[in-house]
A and B are shown apart, each in its own frame.
Chain A
Amino acid sequence: MKIVLKNIDLLNPYQKLNNKKNDLEIIDGIITKIGKNIKVDDDVKTFDLDGVIAAPGFFDMHVHLREPGREDKETIVSGCRSAARGGFTGIGCMPNTTPTIDSAEVISSIKQKASNELTSVFVIAAATKNREGELLSSMFELMENGSVAFSDDGVAIKSAAILKRVMEYSKMFDVPIIEHCEDNSMAGGGVNEGVISTQLGLKPAPSIAEYLIIMRDILMAEYTNSKVHIAHISTKRGVQMVRDAKKMGVKVTAEVAPHHFTLDETRLLTYDTNFKMNPPLRERKDVEEIIKGLQDGTIDCVASDHAPHTIEEKNLPFDQAPNGIIGLETEVGLTLNELYHKQILSLEQIIEKLSINPRLILNIPVPQIKKGEPANLTLLDINKSWIVNISEFFSKSINSPYAGTELKGNAIGVINNKKMFINNNFFNI
């Protein structure tokens, strides 16, 4: 099948591409022509995308798909469609499922279930068996079956001794260990320790629990000369440590979730469990340092930490409700609204953080907008004003704190795997 995208702006800093008002012809999912005023027959499906930007397909490297085990919260299919609607053509899924993603069987079952979806799923397998922090997972076998990185996400790797083994072993594949940086002996209840936790009377999550593991992991990566990726960084001190480590040449990268650069701990004052996440919302100074870290490149990418939960669970008393919010369908809007329109980052930098850097971290080829290449694109309308309406989400869950928020800019469509999503519809191309 042939489609043509008319009058679209092409922007891919990875290939130093920045061409305004081009036409893009795609046949059977492959880019066949790029140019001005491509002639189109009447029977060819065309899209006039004047004012729209085509970027290399966005990639979210931190998603909890919940399948296998909690299909009532999200399935591989619903998660992929939520990702596509949010503007992502690729996602990395975390291993804290039931069973844990620590075997070839679970990986291939996930890959098979995702095989007909527009959004490609890349598996991040457990670093230790059953994420228990005792025994190494079978990394050779997991790599051979498609794992792109290793993580015990949900928790940090339990002990320094195991972390050392994990880093030494994983170095053979040149993949990063993705760490949820929280000292488990100080794990808290979804609210930052300080003025807010004190007045709410909730069990606090101290920021030092994050500092300690970030420091441990940076030192271990340096010592073993291997790669570590700091997931969902949330603290000022954490950002400073990553910045210093990068200067010293340690192979450390970092991501941040949109809620950690858009919200602070004061939102907890109503005990609304849609603001309960781990790491928790922190202080204003932390948000400010994160924004600095995004600007100076300390923080390499934005990732949602998409964490679906049922409404029944989120309606539990605050101290009993689970941590996490869904994020795939608000991530691009929040990033454009907060970082582009407030002149923190350029559009090129945003594309790096949402598309290029996560792939480079995971050794996944970056899509090119070039004749002969598969069409893997995110279509952006950076000036579109919209209001977050959770009832329209494709995710099975609705645990988002952003309902009713007005945002400027969003993805309006994606193309990948010979499929297109636009105007709220999927179709084959």
Chain B
Amino acid sequence: MSLHIKHLIGLQNVPKEDIEIILKSTKKFKEHFQTSKEKLTDLSGKTIANIFFEDSTRTRTSFELAEKRLSADVLNFSSSSSSLSKGESFKDTVKNIEAMNIDMIVVRHSSAGIPFYLTKYSQSVIINAGDGAHEHPTQGLLDIYTIKEKLGRIKGLNICIVGDIAHSRVALSNLFGLKTLGANVSFCGPSTMIPRDIEKFGAKVYNNIDKAIRENDILNVLRIQLERDAGKNFPSIREYTNYFGITEQRIKNNNENILILHPGPINRGVELSPEVADGNNQVILDQVTNGVAVRMAVLSLLGKN
């Protein structure tokens, strides 16, 4: 089993067969770690740099754990500890790291396009850990894996992504990955947070959360960036929560079987009520567990190429 892709930049151009191989491999890794503490050796002798130009605890630790469980040598590099603060350009920083014989680079950056740009002048395998509001492909894959694990399939399912779509990298990765596997993807949120022409990608748009809950099998609820958006993209947290927040009552009224995903961290009482955040419909911690397994699959498959 090997992948067509050489890097993982986004799910937009990943063929269906590749996604299926990654999901299969994820299952294998997950099963291994549910029964054993023994490290695997898929990446022994490989050096991986986790280059995070933007704060991230979850994604970075998830990648790091995945790398260590595969016996890779890991270098962590974050912008606060880097020479970027000394004025070195992004390109020079990455070239310097690469000069130390790195096999793979896991990169997160606040600017869309950086991972793609890296593939043009770097010899390493590049894995996008989130670039601006573009894509976050391993998040998309772990969401897909979790849905498949819980519901047994992807094809034909109705999935609605809820919240600030315009500024989300999770939304696009979900859209492209899920559509490739034959799901129906829709979006729900205030119109100010839905990017223009998104329906041209074959996605339905809801402005009514009750309807979205009724007509979908899964909600993937995004984190609301309180500090950035309140008052600009929607009038107030109160209004957002009242009209788009997911509550037990709404689930009860509309669709008691709905599966709720959330990439974290949650704003309890904003996009999810505390009861829903801890309730029976959500699979948030499964997502976290699956995140490590998905990243092991991606690292192992791309590292072998």
Contacts and interface: CB of A to CB of B under 8 A. Distances in A.
B90 A317 contact: yes
Given A194-B197, A201-B172, A317 B114 contact: yes
A124 B271 CA distance: 53
Interface in B126-166: 131-135
Interface stretch (B105-113, B228-236, B248-256, B290-298): B105-113
Contact of A201 (B89, B90, B112): B112
A201 B134 contact: yes
A202 B132 contact: yes
Contacts of B134: 200-202
A195 B200 contact: yes
Contacts of A199: 12, 172, 201
A201 B131 contact: yes
A159 interface: no
A312 B133 CA distance: 24
Contacts of A271: 112-113, 116-117
A147 B78 CA distance: 51
B264 interface: no
Contacts of B198: 198
A197 B195 contact: yes
B196 interface: yes
A195 B197 contact: yes
B169 interface: yes
Interface in A265-304: 270-271
A317 B197 contact: no
A193 B197 CA distance: 9
Interface in A182-227: 193-195, 197-202, 204, 206
Nearest to B111: A317
Given A315-B89, A317-B117, A198 B196 contact: yes
Instruction: Determine the interface band of chain B, counting residues with CB < 8 A from chain A.
Output: 20 to 34
20 contacts: A195-B197, A195-B201, A199-B172, A199-B201, A200-B134, A201-B131, A201-B132, A201-B133, A202-B132, A202-B133, A204-B195, A206-B196, A270-B116, A271-B112, A315-B91, A317-B90, A317-B113, A318-B111, A318-B113, A319-B111
Contacts of B196: 193-194, 197-198, 204, 206
B109 A317 contact: yes
The 8 A-B residue pairs with the shortest CB-CB distance in the complex, in nearest-first order: A271-B113, A201-B134, A317-B111, A201-B133, A198-B195, A201-B112, A318-B113, A195-B197
Interface of A: 193-195, 197-202, 204, 206, 270-271, 312, 315-320
A119 to B, nearest CB: 34
A68 B91 CA distance: 29
Contacts of A202: 112-113, 132-134
Contacts of B169: 201
Nearest to B171: A201
Nearest to A270: B116
SS class, residues of chain A in contact with chain B: loop
A179 to B, nearest CB: 25
A7 B114 CA distance: 55
A202 B195 CA distance: 10
Indicate the member of A194, A198, A206, A320 with the most B CB atoms within 10 Å: A198
Contacts of B111: 317-320
A27 to B, nearest CB: 54
A319 B172 contact: no
A245 B8 CA distance: 51
Interface string B90-120: 1100000000000000000101111011000
Contacts of B131: 201
B135 A316 contact: no
Contacts of A316: 89-90
Interface in B166-218: 169, 172, 195-198, 200-201
Contacts of A270: 116
A200 B113 contact: yes
B89 A319 contact: no
Interface string B44-86: 0000000000000000000000000000000000000000000
Contacts of A319: 111-113, 132
Contacts of B201: 195, 198-199
A206 B117 CA distance: 25
Interface string B241-281: 00000000000000000000000000000000000000000
Given A194-B196, A206-B196, A271-B117, 9 more contacts: A194-B197, A195-B201, A199-B172, A201-B132, A202-B113, A204-B196, A270-B116, A315-B91, A319-B111
Nearest to B200: A195
A51 to B, nearest CB: 42
